[in-house]
Amino acid sequence: MALAANKVDATEALIAAYPAPSGEGKWASDARARALETLRQTGAPVRRDEYWKFTNPARLLEPAKAATILATDETPMFDGVDKLLVVFVDGVLRADLSDDLTMDGLEIETLASAMSKDIHWANDIYGVLEANGQNPVSRPMAALNTAMATEGLVIRVTGKAAKPIALRYLRSGADADVMVHNVIKLEQGADLTLLENGPAAARFNSSLEVDIADNAALHHVRAQGRDHERLAATHMFARLGTESRFKSFTLTVNGALTRNEAVLEFTGDDAFATVSGASAGDRAYHHDDTVFITHDALNCESRQVFKKVLRNGATGVFQGKILVPSHAQKTDGYQIAQGLLLDDDCTFLAKPELEIYADDVICSHGSTCGGVDETALFYLTSRGVPKSQAQDMLVLAFMDESIQEIEDDVLADEIRERLGAWMERHRD
Amino acid sequence: MLNIKNLKASLEDEDKQILKGIDLDIGPGEVHAIMGPNGSGKSTLSYVLSGKGGYVVDGGTATLDGTDLLDMEPEERAAAGLFLAFQYPVEIPGVGNMTFLRTAVNSQRKMRGEEELNAAEFLKLVRAKAIDLKIDAEMLKRPVNVGFSGGEKKRNEILQMAMLEPKMCILDETDSGLDVDAMKLVAEGVNAMRDGKRSFLVITHYQRLLDHIKPDVVHIMAAGKIIKSGGPELALEVENNGYADLLNEVA
């Protein structure tokens, strides 16, 4: 179907806004050309698109403008963790601030380096998992990223990585409009923990493509920066082999508009995946988790656990889908999305979708929305706990189900600490 | 200790007065019991005193050691020395029993300008008190009251009371849902805290609890008022004859 004329114009304007990468290897320019083609077919997102009804994409598309950078006292996360640190400033990898890109059990290369080569293993992943994820729901911002991003890492994990890789996104420019694209290939039996943290940019479009081979495992913990005016559209595409494991958790506090998309596909039997998130927002905060999980194999388990605490008119969105084709018997799919509204003028919009064609599956979903439990609040205060602190305890307890999805207790505790600190800063 | 004068209170959402002029004076070290038929306002009295939302005080006063209770937030009342053992202790998933208890103890100490207990001091104290109440370490680790049996919940209330060391304890039907042994255990916990200074207000339906926690004064409450006060023998009278005679007597 041909796009409407206004959508064509918007799409061409979006493409023209970013410099077209050139001088790359053939595989790379082919991948970019395919992504551009996809983008031209689907068009830039508009509010009327089914999966953008709850989130207005306008600010993700409009010409970049200088944003006010707020003085922030945010300290980088995961500082106490033994890790391989890679620093991006305004989306540009800074070798001078990063550790050497070498570690036992894996190979790391910059995206630019991989793209410059004539042939590269990333050919099977870069833009490929993204393209798979465009159907049945289009993800134009991800196609844009594949077509334009020149920064990021290409990582091949062959064994158990000696320590986590931590991507730290720093921001110096007021108007940085940044794209980052990371590719991770986990070979059979490989194991990696990937950490991401930081404000990144005024507008951040990130894409992560992950290919997890049989018996491999990826642990992903991400904490998006807490700058208030930040706009972010992030995408995660994962392909899971037999008996593989994928655990991804995202903490989002603040940010004007955040859209986190996750697209997972089970291609091998007996695999496990969880995508979870804790999100906390005050005032002009719009946070959107959009998840699509396809069970294209037998006996796989997937979990979606999302918790949002909202104050003073903030908005939270959850769109989560589980697709189970007729051959994906013994699928176990779990989905929960809950909003805790601390004020009457907050909004929580949830759209759980289960599309199941197999007859021997367990799939459940739940979504709730409400305020703090007044009875519990009275119980705590009647024992002498001040009301604000009691409320924080209840909010953190509410959020904890999502944090428990993180396997590593040290990382989970750091997330709890950050969330607790946010609650303390945002009291009545 | 606790002085209540002509206390009247209504439900906030309905135009319905529950307490219609309560007068009660509990001296230091005294144990008073309140009995009364369902709906007489016993629990409401405990909620209004401890500051639960949803009630409006229409008149009267309530003071603890001369300090106006009704003007304070629930946490301030707690720090001032008031404690309510709930009829239905609240389950709070995700909040650890120990974390909660330590936060409560230290919040109160802070409000009173006392030094906070460190983790080791607190742990030592709570373990000792838990043993007396036959509360095992596993129970302390669990979220507040989640998965506790009725008896465990009530023992947990008494543990909190023992840790917080209030001046004035209100026990709202602490015997409900308890078997004989559990009731004895809870009563022992309460009796261990009687030191001649600490006062108790025991709300109950049954005389049985009062065999274990011996009251100095028994009050009969009906329709939002205390209609009769007397010695422990009054509880026995209720046990034998029910409330009908008493209600007729007053009417």
DSSP string, A55-119: S-THHHHSPP---PPPP--PPPSSTTS--EEEEEETTEE-GGGS--SEETTEEEEEHHHHHHSSS
Instruction: Supply the pLDDT for residue A120.
Output: 96
Instruction: Supply the pLDDT for residue A65.
Output: 67
A378, A380, A397 member nearest B53 (Cβ)? A378
Residue A50 has pLDDT above 60, yes or no: yes
B78, B99, B111 member nearest A382 (Cβ)? B78
Residue A319 has pLDDT above 70, yes or no: yes
The stretches of A305-386 forming alpha helices (DSSP H) are 374-382
Which residues of chain B make contact with A381, given a CB cutoff of 8 A?
A: 51, 73-75, 78
Distance CA A128, CA A111 (A): 15
What confidence category does residue B238 fall into, taking pLDDT thresholds of 50, 70 and 90? confident
The SS3 assignment for A122 reads helix
Contact A331, A295 (CB under 8 A): yes
Domains of chain B (ranges plus CATH)? Answer: 2-95+167-250 (3.40.50.300)
Structure-token pair, residue A322: 């589980």
Quick check: B164 contacting A, CB < 8 Å? Answer: yes
Q: What is the mean pLDDT of chain B?
A: 91
* Interval B136-159 mean pLDDT: 89
Q: Which residue of B has its CA nearest to A386?
A: B75
Instruction: Supply the pLDDT for residue B176.
Output: 84
Instruction: Supply the pLDDT for residue A275.
Output: 98
Which residues of chain A make contact with B89, given a CB cutoff of 8 A?
A: 379
Q: Which residue has the higher pLDDT, B153 or B177?
A: B153
Q: Which residues pair with A320 in a beta bridge?
A: A291, A352
| CB burial readout A74-105, b (16+ within 10 A) else e | beebbeebebbbbbbbbbebeeeebbebebee
User: ipTM above 0.85?
Assistant: yes
Q: What is the mean pLDDT of chain A?
A: 94
A374, A379, A400 member nearest B86 (Cβ)? A379
Q: Which residue of B has its CA nearest to A394?
A: B95
Residue A1 has pLDDT above 90, yes or no: no
Q: Tell me: the pLDDT tens digits for A216-230? A: 999 999 999 888 888
Quick check: B160 contacting A, CB < 8 Å? Answer: yes
Contact A225, A252 (CB under 8 A): no
Distance CA A249, CA A169 (A): 17
Which residues of chain A make contact with B111, given a CB cutoff of 8 A?
A: 384, 386
Q: Tell me: the pLDDT tens digits for B43-86? A: 999 999 999 999 999 999 999 999 999 999 999 999 999 999 99
* Interval A5-25 mean pLDDT: 92
* Interval A105-117 mean pLDDT: 96
* Interval B2-26 mean pLDDT: 94
Cβ contact, residue pair A381, B75, below 8 Å: yes
Using the structure block, give the residue that is written with the tokens 């060391």: B165
What phi and psi, each to the nearest 5 degrees, are found at residue A70?
A: -95, 140
B93, B108, B160 member nearest A397 (Cβ)? B93
Which residues of chain B make contact with A398, given a CB cutoff of 8 A?
A: 94
Name the residue ranges covered by the structural domains of chain A.
Answer: 5-372
Instruction: Supply the pLDDT for residue B242.
Output: 84
Least Cα distance to B200 among B34, B6, B65 occurs for: B34
DSSP line for A220-252:
EEEEE---SS-EEEEEEEEEE-TT-EEEEEEEE
Cβ contact, residue pair B75, A384, below 8 Å: yes
What confidence category does residue B29 fall into, taking pLDDT thresholds of 50, 70 and 90? very high
Which residues of chain A make contact with B79, given a CB cutoff of 8 A?
A: 384
Distance CA A315, CA A308 (A): 9
Cβ contact, residue pair B75, A376, below 8 Å: no
Least confident of A128-137, A203-212, A324-333, B184-193: B184-193
Task: Give residue A246's identity as a one-letter amino acid code.
Answer: F
Number of Cβ pairs < 8 A linking chain A and chain B: 78
Instruction: Supply the pLDDT for residue A169.
Output: 94
Instruction: Supply the pLDDT for residue A325.
Output: 97
Portion of chain A with pLDDT greater than 70, in percent: 98
Least Cα distance to A271 among A296, A301, A291, A249 occurs for: A301
Instruction: Supply the pLDDT for residue A227.
Output: 85
Residue A64 has pLDDT above 80, yes or no: no
B79, B90, B99 member nearest A384 (Cβ)? B79
Q: Which residue has the higher pLDDT, A72 or A360?
A: A360
Q: Which residue of A has its CA nearest to B95?
A: A397
B84, B94, B111 member nearest A382 (Cβ)? B84
Distance CA A163, CA A165 (A): 7
Cβ contact, residue pair B107, A401, below 8 Å: no
* Interval A300-311 mean pLDDT: 98
The SS3 assignment for B94 reads strand
Residue A76 has pLDDT above 80, yes or no: yes
Cβ contact, residue pair A381, B90, below 8 Å: no
Cβ contact, residue pair A396, B89, below 8 Å: no
Contact A268, A298 (CB under 8 A): no
Residue B243 has pLDDT above 90, yes or no: no
Least confident of A37-51, A287-301, B182-196: B182-196
Cβ contact, residue pair B73, A378, below 8 Å: no
Q: Which residue has the higher pLDDT, B187 or B177?
A: B187
Contact B132, B192 (CB under 8 A): yes
Which residues of chain A make contact with B53, given a CB cutoff of 8 A?
A: 374, 378
CA angle B15/B21/B25 to nearest 5° reads 140
Distance CA B44, CA B60 (A): 15
Mutation target vs A (from B73, B103, B106; most A CBs, 10 A cutoff) = B103
What confidence category does residue B250 fall into, taking pLDDT thresholds of 50, 70 and 90? low
Contact A7, A57 (CB under 8 A): no
Residue A197 has pLDDT above 60, yes or no: yes
Least confident of A68-72, B115-119, B217-221, B230-234: A68-72
H helix count then E strand count, chain B: 10, 12
Cβ contact, residue pair B100, A393, below 8 Å: yes
* Interval B135-152 mean pLDDT: 88
Q: Chain B window 56-115: which residues touch A at a Cβ cutoff of 8 Å?
A: 73-75, 77-79, 84, 86, 89-90, 92-95, 99-101, 103-105, 107-108, 111
Cβ contact, residue pair A385, B160, below 8 Å: no
